[in-house]
Structure 1
């Protein structure tokens, strides 16, 4: 059958690109299928360190209760001085409360792990709820003395709405594909998510100066603490591991504006960390890790070729080509998301939305590369100005502090009325 020339003009380069991207995916997927979590029993003492800034009261209380249910040795909450509501909630539980007036997450993390007294320190976000066996599961990989840090499997807390469902799909793809393959081939996970990452405490003390003093092209780094900590652990010859049997749930944006800002911050952090790593010898001692960093950088550009070809086909009214391309996206993305679709079969119908958001994120990655030196949190009221981490609003000015009295009462009414068992310290 003789096809018009434009079918070959459009289809040949797209087909070659598709084969290349499938080969790259298989290079990750095959070892990811072979991944297994550590099953041998091993337990070490553990502290939780949680930076708290303007957290939703209901989520915060649920998270505290889940941490305490794990029977860890201590929970240390480093709460921003502006957050009066979370300070009050925390004092109802048997936790240690440290109130800080220093802006920024990094200083809060350092204050917390300095306060800890255990072998392991879990750095946890204040909106992250743990399964009942997380503390048990994350200790198991540390039976290997080479392991310096362990990550968990993360899902969306209350995954309702379009963005939440799409985010849940991206998370499963990450933990059943990228992180699983990095764990299997080299035990070198590129980023232990800050939602919950566990480290040996003595390693945190060793790397804290490099962590706090990080700069990129002369500008102090404000965010990207999880990537930086993971990189510093790997740089020093230790290994990182993803223990998928340890599951946690976190909240994610349900508004496009906040989603965009969060992804832009994450993309800038990834560019800065990966470009720095690829320029140094240590990463090439982990060849698969280096490969995934290069692949991630390239994929942000190649991903956009698909919609470009689709637009060209539609402009030229090549309906068959457009229909085949759309069908291929549905089939191929469903295959790559199979672990998630097994868990939530209805996500099959969200695959077109997943593809669209993938294109949006690719554009965000390009914008992040073009603005790589900008250091703003975007979802927190802090930024780097004149080389210093500063607040961008006065303490107490955040919307969270302006809740309606009745809404605040409903949120606080959810908490159990326990006697105050926390110890409070001020940090300046």
Structure 2
């Protein structure tokens, strides 16, 4: 039988013109302000001469020029990014299995499952497999309750906690009737058209080289507190700038675990090495999304970004959990960087240079900051202000990009995040080096280990395929309750409300306030 993903069935089409949308005069004025402010900052940067302050600081001079070139290249390449617009009739859409690994997600897993069944995709081509990775709370009970409402959902419960990779691998093996496997985190929800949009790069690929596609992730809880506001802008830049630029060359270096899809045939090829990955003698228990992306890129598969396939994910709202998450990400970045630098040279020049430059800036950036802000002023009588002004300008430009594209008053979060990143998060890279052998998540009460009783499937809901694990119990079957008709689907926890007047007042006032350091440099330095 011919695969639904073979090139001859692909039917690319030109983009459908979007319906005209009216823009409120206030939004138009906001965009004009944003563009004018960004232009003024660029003029300021271009007008800077290599004066005594800059010329005397050779480190900052070289670093500044290289970083500016890197940043400008990323933005220019990202501006040329366009999402795939391939469309095919419903009967030619690929079959999907959505794999949802869950551990102690009692509070959110039902919202995720309900949201998956609200998406616009042919029911006969869609299954959902939820894997409970030995949770110690009521996650399994919530999965069972969801199975009553959704007959196309299958659930798998591990006999003990084994780790996210094992859960994902079990779902892949159980998805034997699927062309594509879609991974969705248990704290993420999808927009209605997300799946149709996510499969388009596969359908529009005449070569069959696209092995993975990552969707766009927004923050689901931006209004919780200051920390979530900061992450809102950071997520936008990470996806709409970094991943968009990488996608131009089919070289997205991390297909986000929030929402990504892969050809099942490619997954089966890399599954053994990925599932059993070890580093420095320790089992790799996190960074599964980056490791899986690397495994595909190393085999010359392409990984792309589809900006129109949108999910919303819950982000940490406490600093302790956030910093632990960032440390975990730094560790996986360090580990996977040692692999990607070995083959990135094979990519187009702009893509490969982007990878090597990002590695250099991640490793050397904190040291340049230390030299410019602390060591040089203390020992050589230099001024720290040039570095601080440069950081301020870059942070404001990132925030303005968010303000212009999203028409959002919360753009100031980008400025705050840049300074938090420079002062705290960037330094975690060195702690990550020292503690690389510690594979604890730090944010979940799990005890992932190969030791102990053999891993098995303790319970199932529905009729999942073979997971490759021994089955301790008889396969489960849904009992359709007479209450089914009365069970109303939960509403997604995502808040898509319009910004309040207070938000706009704050956003507007942040414009002149953010310009004060630059004005000080020009007139009163």
Per the TM superposition, whether the score is higher than 0.5 is yes
Question: What residue in structure 2 maps to residue 40 of structure 1?
Answer: 86
Within 5 Å, which residues of 2 pair with 1:297-312? 297-304=359-366, 305-306=368-369, 308-311=371-374
Aligned-partner Cα distance in 2 for 1:416–1:256: 42
Judged with a 3 Å threshold, the aligned counterparts in structure 2 of structure 1 residues 23 and 251 are, in CA distance, closer, same or farther, namely same
Unmatched tracts of structure 2, length 5 or more: 1-50, 454-483, 490-525
* C-alpha contact 2:331 2:436 (8 A) present in aligned 1: yes
C-alpha separation between the residues in 2 aligned to 1:318 and 1:250? 47
1:180 is paired with a residue whose SS is helix
Out of 30, 47, 63, the position equivalent to 2:112 is: 63
Give how far 1:62 is off.
Answer: 2.0
Partner of 1:264: 327
Q: Is the 8 A contact 1:190 1:289 kept in 2?
A: no
Pick from 324, 330, 339 the counterpart of residue 401 of structure 2.
339
CA contact (8 A) 2:106 2:137 kept: no
The answer on 1:418 being equivalent to 2:482 is no
Gap runs ≥5 in structure 1: 392-414, 421-428
CA distance in 2, matches of 1:338, 1:188: 26
Matched, 1:373 2:442: no
- Cα pair distance change 1:301/1:133, threshold 3 Å: same
1:227 shift after superposition: 1.1
The answer to whether the 8 Å contact 1:180/1:242 transfers is yes
Residue 402 of structure 1 is matched in structure 2 by none
1:96 aligns with: 154
Deviations 1:199-250, CA, capped at 9 Å, x for gaps: 1112112211111121113322111111111111112221111001111111
Give the Cα separation in 1 of the matches to 2:435 and 2:174.
36
Among 73, 98, 101, the alignment partner of 1:27 is: 73
Q: Secondary structure at the match of 2:251?
A: coil
Q: Are the aligned partners of 2:189 and 2:312 in contact in 1 as well (CA < 8 Å)?
A: yes
Normalized against structure 2, the TM-score is what?
Answer: 0.68
Question: Which residue of the partner structure matches residue 50 of structure 1?
Answer: 100
1:190 corresponds to 2:253 = yes
**Cα distance in 2 between the residues matched to 1:285 and 1:166:** 36
The answer to whether the 8 Å contact 2:215/2:307 transfers is yes
Q: Which residue of 1 aligns with 2:460?
A: none
Superposed displacement of residue 56, structure 1 = 4.6
Structure with higher Rg: it is 2
Structure 1 position 171 matched with structure 2 position 229: no
| Separation in 2, partners of 1:378, 1:260 | 10
- What is the correspondence of 1:3-402 to structure 2 with a 5 Å cutoff? 7=53, 11-42=57-88, 43-57=93-107, 59-70=108-119, 71=121, 73-93=126-146, 94=150, 95-102=153-160, 103-116=162-175, 117-143=177-203, 144=205, 145-160=208-223, 161-184=225-248, 186-279=249-342, 282-287=343-348, 288-304=350-366, 305-306=368-369, 308-311=371-374, 321-322=383-384, 325-342=387-404, 343=406, 344-348=408-412, 351-382=415-446, 388=450
* 1:404 paired residue number: none
Does the CA-based 8 Å contact 2:233-2:414 persist in structure 1? Answer: no
Cα 1:181–1:349, aligned 2, differ >3 Å: closer, same or farther?
A: closer
Q: Following TM superposition, by how much is the alpha carbon of 1:317 offset from its aligned partner in structure 2, in angstroms?
A: 13
Backbone CA RMSD of aligned residues:
2.9
Structure that is richer in strand per residue? 1
Within 2, Cα distance between the matches of 1:248 and 1:104?
Answer: 23
CA–CA distance in structure 2, aligned partners of residues 193 and 260 of structure 1: 19
- 1:248-270 deviations in whole A, cap 9, x for unaligned? 11111111211111111111111
Question: Relative to 1, partners in 2 of residues 1:29 and 1:8: Cα closer, same or farther, differing over 3 Å?
Answer: closer
Local SS of the residue matching 1:91: helix
Q: CA deviation at 1:11?
A: 4.3
C-alpha separation between the residues in 2 aligned to 1:8 and 1:205? 54
Tell me how far apart the structure 2 counterparts of residues 390 and 173 of structure 1 sit (CA, whole Å). Answer: 43
User: Structure 1 residues 419, 180: CA separation in 2 closer, same or farther (over 3 Å shift)?
Assistant: closer
CA offset at residue 339 of structure 1?
2.9
